[in-house]
Every structure is written in C-alpha cells, then in structure tokens.
Amino acid sequence: MTRRLDYKWNLRQVMAGRGMFATTDLIGPLADREIRLSSSQVYRLVAERPERLSLKVLMALLDILDCSLEDLIEPAAEPGTAARRKKKAAGAEAGIGGLRPRRARIHGPL
C-alpha cells in the first residue's frame, strides 16, 4: 500500500511567535512586497490550510516572518484509521498550538 502524505500549515503559530495576532497584520508587509491580497484572502491564508499557494506569496511570508519553509509547512503522514477515530475533548481544537483559552472565574458580589 502506498503511503499517503499530508502536511500541517503553521502560519498562525509562526505569526503568534512574532507577535502578530491579527490576520490584517500581514496586509501591509505583503503590499510592500507588491503582493496585493484582500483582507478575506489573508484571513483564509492564515486560518485555513491552503491547497494551492503561489511561490511569490510563500517567499514573501518567509521573508516577512523571517522563518524557514520547515517552520511554515510541517510534513506529516496521513493518520491511520485508529488515529482518525480517536475523539478530542470538547474545546481541544481551540487555541494556537499549546495555547488554549482559560475559563473565566466568576467571583461573588463586589
């Protein structure tokens, strides 16, 4: 059986490591490199895993974030059927990398 390859897109995590938390933080630096993308296109680039990506955009991202290709794209083998069946805890998909939101604490009346 042929092994199927997959990849993990880490743009959001790399941006967070550089102090860039809003997707619109990329619009200006991309425009400086003569790449004009709308805010919705930049949002999809950051929030979703791209199936197609221009090499010019990829090279601009590497330059803007001062990172390597391995930082943005992590090769991974497609998970087996056992791994696919494993369920995550509620809210496990939220957060960036190891960062997860914390529950608010409600204190008594002031």
Average pLDDT over residues 85-96: 57
97 CB-contact burial (10 Å; exposed 0-12 / middle 13-18 / buried 19+): exposed
Does residue 33 belong to any structural domain of this protein? Answer: yes
**pLDDT tens digits for 31-62?**
999 999 999 999 999 999 999 999 999 999 99
Does residue 38 belong to any structural domain of this protein? Answer: yes
Does residue 103 belong to any structural domain of this protein? Answer: no
pTM over 0.85: no
Does residue 85 belong to any structural domain of this protein? Answer: no
C-alpha distances in Å from residue 54, one per residue of 50, 58, 59: 10, 6, 9
Contact between 27 and 37 under an 8 Å Cβ cutoff? The reply is yes
Look-up of token digits 């933080």: 25
Range of the domain at 58: 10-78
Confidence of residue 3 (pLDDT cuts 50, 70, 90): confident
Q: How many domains does the chain have?
A: 1
